[in-house]
């Protein structure tokens, strides 16, 4: 990650961050604060936006092939808010532009982290799941860490929403965070990237409720977040 100056009026006070995936124009105070957080070394680039986008295209193709082989007539995505919103929407677009199977998009909210680096130990699931009765559901989640969220969500979908089957697709897998009691949730069918045990933000994931919108993923070097 490096910074460079912008040409033209206002160049002196408008830093431009250059990263592997493009440019961020820091236009106002809030964006300047964000820009400083990135350039000050609190963040370091972990996965560039071009890598993320390429990988999502690959995942979309894998999903289409598998769903066709399973003779499913529709691809039913359940996107877990908030973290998987960008990942899920892009994945849906990629699947749809390949054009072979219709895509249904559903959303659910699952929260276990709050604003801390360590999971609260509880997981709140909220959303209307009536439409998933009898469906082959692909859960789209931002990150698999301890495993608690996906373990609980999978059970909830099978036992309470009566989904026919549940397949899991995560953008990130942090195996170092896994808790033994959530190991037996079964196979994770689709994984974007395996990452080390660091706290990450961007690509939908937040750091104190900010930075979700970054198109790339950064590791957060904050001593208060001892992951
Ligand atoms: P579990 O522990 O339930 O975690 O597998 C999954 C949920 O926790 C959040 N999470 C993170 N959020 N940076 C974040 O911004 C991280 O490094 C991180 N690790 C876990 C995430 O919301 C996920 O749904
Ligand atoms: Mg999440």
| Alpha-carbon gap, residue 211 to 82, rounded angstroms | 12
Give the per-residue pLDDT at 31. Answer: 55
Q: From 122, 149, 171, 195, give the residue whose CB has the most ligand 1 atoms within 8 Å, as the site to mutate.
A: 149
Query: Is-contact 115 209, C-beta < 8 A?
Result: yes
Ligand 1 atom nearest to CA at 174: 19
| Alpha-carbon gap, residue 171 to 192, rounded angstroms | 4
Q: Is the dihedral of CA 76, 205, 168, 65 positive or negative?
A: positive
152 CB within 6 A, ligand 1 = no
Nearest CA, atom 20, ligand 1: 145
| Dihedral of the alpha carbons of 119, 200, 158, 139, in degrees to the nearest 10 | 160
Residues by chain with Cβ below 5 Å of ion ligand 2: 83, 142
As a whole number, mean pLDDT of residues 114-137 equals 77
- pLDDT above 90 as % of the chain: 54
83 CB within 6 A, ligand 1 = yes
| Dihedral of the alpha carbons of 119, 133, 168, 141, in degrees to the nearest 10 | -50
Give the per-residue pLDDT at 113. Answer: 61
DSSP helix/strand/coil, 79: strand
Query: Is-contact 166 137, C-beta < 8 A?
Result: yes
Query: Is-contact 146 178, C-beta < 8 A?
Result: yes
Burial of 115 (0-12, 13-18, 19+ CB in 10 A): exposed
Instruction: Report pTM.
Output: 0.82
Question: What mean pLDDT is reported for the chain?
Answer: 82
Give the per-residue pLDDT at 121. Answer: 66
Cis peptide before 208 (omega within 30 of 0): no
Query: Is-contact 26 35, C-beta < 8 A?
Result: yes
| Dihedral of the alpha carbons of 86, 82, 63, 129, in degrees to the nearest 10 | -140
- pLDDT above 70 as % of the chain: 77
DSSP 8-state class, residue 132: G
What does the pLDDT look like over 61-92, one tens digit per residue? 999 999 888 888 899 999 999 999 999 999 99
Q: Which residues of 96-112 are buried (b: 16+ CB within 10 A; e: fewer)?
A: eeeeeeebeebbbebbb
Q: Which of 28, 136, 142, 145 is flagged as catalytic?
A: 145
Residue 145 annotated in active site: yes
Give the per-residue pLDDT at 139. Answer: 97
Nearest CA, atom 2, ligand 1: 146
Task: Compute, in angstroms, the gap from residue 155 CA to the centroid of ligand 1.
Answer: 18
Q: Cα–chain-centroid distance for residue 96?
A: 19
Task: Compute, in angstroms, the gap from residue 185 CA to the centroid of ligand 2.
Answer: 17
Task: Compute, in angstroms, the gap from residue 5 CA to the centroid of ligand 2.
Answer: 35
As a whole number, mean pLDDT of residues 140-164 equals 94
The closest alpha carbon to 84, from 226, 221, 190, 197, belongs to 190
The residues near 184 (Cβ < 8 Å, ≥ 6 apart) are: none
| Alpha-carbon gap, residue 135 to 154, rounded angstroms | 13
Query: Is-contact 195 218, C-beta < 8 A?
Result: no
Nearest CA, atom 8, ligand 1: 113
């Amino acid at each position: 990650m490096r910074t460079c100056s912008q040409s033209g009026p206002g160049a002196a006070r408008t830093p431009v961050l250059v990263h592997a995936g493009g440019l961020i124009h820091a236009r106002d105070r809030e964006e300047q604060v964000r820009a400083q957080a990135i350039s000050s070394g609190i963040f370091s680039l972990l996965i560039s936006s071009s890598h993320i986008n390429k990988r999502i295209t690959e995942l979309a193709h894998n999903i289409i092939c598998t769903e066709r082989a399973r003779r499913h007539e529709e691809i039913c995505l359940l996107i877990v808010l908030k973290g998987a919103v960008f990942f899920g929407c892009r994945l849906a677009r990629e699947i749809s532009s390949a054009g072979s199977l219709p895509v249904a998009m559903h959303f659910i909210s699952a929260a276990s982290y709050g604003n801390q680096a360590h999971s609260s130990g509880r997981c709140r699931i909220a959303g209307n799941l009536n439409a998933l009765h009898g469906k082959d559901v692909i859960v789209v989640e931002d990150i698999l860490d301890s495993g608690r969220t996906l373990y609980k969500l999978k059970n909830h979908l099978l036992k309470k929403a009566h989904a026919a089957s549940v397949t899991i697709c995560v953008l990130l897998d942090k195996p170092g965070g896994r808790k033994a009691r959530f190991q037996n949730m079964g196979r994770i069918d689709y994984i974007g990237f395996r990452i080390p045990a660091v706290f990450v933000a961007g690509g939908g994931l937040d750091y104190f409720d900010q930075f979700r919108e970054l198109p790339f993923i950064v590791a957060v070097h904050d001593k208060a977040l001892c992951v």
